[in-house]
Amino acid sequence: MTAPLRQIRVQDLASFIAQHAAQPGSAPPLLLDVREAWELETARLELPGTRLLHLPMGELPQRLDELDPAQTILALCHHGMRSLQCVAYLQRQGHAHVYNVHGGIDAWSTQVDASVPRY
C-alpha cells in the first residue's frame, strides 16, 4: 500500500518553510518546478527559504538522480495536476518527504501574490 499523497495549500507555504527551517540541521526544502521552460519564463515563483530546481515533468525519470530521497520537496506546476503526478512518482521511487503545492502557481497568484502573472 502506498502512502497518501501529501498536499500543501499555497496559503500554508510560508509557515511550512519557516517550521522546516526551525528544525536543527535541516536543509532548505527544494521547490521543484515541473512546468515547461516557457511557463517558468511567464510566471516564476521563488520562495525565500527554499532552493529552486526547474525540472520539467517529462524529464523527471531521466533526472531522478538529481533528487535526494531524504530531501523535503515541494512540487509545483500551473494548477497542481502535473506536480501531483510527480509527487506520486517520487513516492514510488522512495522519496518520503514530497508535497504537492495544491492549485499550483495559479493559486499562488490568485490567493497569495497577485503580482505573479496568470496564464
Annotated catalytic sites, by residue? 77
Which residues, in sequence order, are CB contacts of 105 under 8 Å at separation 6+? 35, 43, 45, 76, 77, 78, 116
Backbone φ, ψ for residue 56 (5° rounding): -55, 145
Q: Does residue 31 sit in helix, strand or coil?
A: strand
